[in-house]
Amino acid sequence: MTDTSSAPVSGKPVSDRDRVVIFDTTLRDGEQCPGASMTFEEKLEVAALLDEMGVDVIEAGFPIASIGDFESVAEIARRTKNATIAGLSRAALNDIDRCAEAVKHAKRGRIHTFLSTSPVHMKYKLQKQPHEVLEMVVASVTRARNHVEDVEWSSEDGTRTEIDFLCRCVEAAIKAGATTINIPDTVGYTTPAEYQALFRTVIERVPNSDKAIFSVHCHDDLGMAVANSLAGLAGGARQIECTINGIGERAGNAALEEVVMAIETRSDVLPYRSGINTKMLTRASKLVSAVTSFPVQYNKAIVGRNAFAHESGIHQDGMLKHTQTYEIMTPESVGVSKTSLVMGKHSGRAAFRDKLKTMGYELGENALNDAFTRFKDLADRKKVVYDEDIEALVDQGIAAAYDRIKLISLSVIAGTRGPQRATMRLEVDGQVKTEEAEGNGPVDATFNAIKALVPHQVKLDLYQVHAVTEGTDAQAEVSVRLEENGKAVTARAADPDTLVASAQAYITALNKLHMKRQTMNPQSAVG
């Protein structure tokens, strides 16, 4: 988006002091969502898009957690052109040093260090007295400031912290060199009125509060993450920590697209501005959904499939007369085009490329060629290829771009007379292998064939099938979640053949588990 510092809001210009810093933690807090892990290459792709769309701060990971996390933060720091790159760190000094090493190549690097301050966290998690915690705040911020000029300090479980102690910690952190103070609603407990009052109180009571930017970080356990984030702005905060699609721990975080479009759409009551190019929101949503295999719910605000859909006759009538009768923002403003091209086996590459662009995808030449080949194959098997079909095949291609295990062929014998049998051919690390297996049904036989070809011990936590579109030739979209040693991964795949989709989803999940094993360092401490 263009700079709107002089744009009128309720008759008054929006000043630089009302510029909201967008801090995206999709790659850190978002990836901590069970099953939402990303590969090294996927993290780089997401970070590049976040930088392009105007995110101010990208929290790229938790460097001490694993070698893989450290390397991805370091590489994102090297490649990012505009955004500040932040790494998360506990109050431990070796955590801070490791974080500093990861962000040192960034054009602008930030160390984000945190420490619990609520009575319940200090007593049971830290097992420390308040005076010891206060000393740790000073020591950790001082250590971080010796490495970088941009230091953020967070009071974990800040909304359940006693106000007097919170003010003491904030004052000490700023005095030690913190330039951003984050008071997170770590467990999604607070309400908008409480959160607004909390920021107003802390800012008024802490004598050096004018030396730092205050930040919100809200979880959605009670469904109020976005509302609380906006309330924090009213209380004086000027940084919002959020994630694409709202992914994150437990019920997730405040959704970046919702926060940004609330500010954009309701400037009359939210007199702030961000630097986000809102036309890239849908594209970002689709990418994060694809690499995490977490589907976006149809009725999700801003980026859901039904966000600009109208089925009610009354609504349709109103829309035909004037779009503003039932739409408070335009689809184009978030990167959704109303243009609809019917795609089929006669559609050419140019039409396919244009279709992808209108749907929010921008693929490189190799990825485009691969997607077009799979589109033509699908078009030969279906009469009409819907947008949802194209979305499914492109997402699948993005997720499988770096797989070590690939499905070559599958044939299944099924019916009322068992046992059912699957014959499968896989490419595993460049070698082609074939196996037959029986099972209690065709899906079980398919999965048993995979286990025979790639021996493993994992638990199948979820197997789910639904149709991507309508009709008997609709693609089946299969979701699979596998769990191994407490680590869960989720994968999706779509194909007109349900069994092929099932095999693809299971194999993609295995590939993700393999990446986790490669990147995790069991000797590293994980906060």
Contact 15, 5 (CB under 8 A): yes
DSSP string covering 490-525: EEEEEESSHHHHHHHHHHHHHHHHHHHHHH--TTS-
Residue 499 CA: distances (Å) to CA of 396, 399, 447, 503, 506 = 15, 19, 10, 6, 11
Backbone angles phi, psi at 385, to 5 degrees: -100, 115
Q: Which two tokens stand for residue 347?
A: 């559609």
Binding residue numbers for Mn(2+): 29, 217, 219, 253
Pull the structure tokens for residue 180.
Answer: 């951003």
DSSP-assigned states of every residue in 214-261:
EEEEBB-TTS-HHHHHHHHHHTT--EEEEBGGG--STT-B-BHHHHHH
The annotated binding site is made up of 29, 217, 219, 253
**What's the CA gap between 492 and 479, in Å, rounded?**
4
Distance between CA atoms of residues 509 and 215, nearest Å: 36
Name the helix (H) or strand (E) containing 47: helix 40-53
Q: Cis omega (within 30 of 0) on the bond before 419?
A: yes
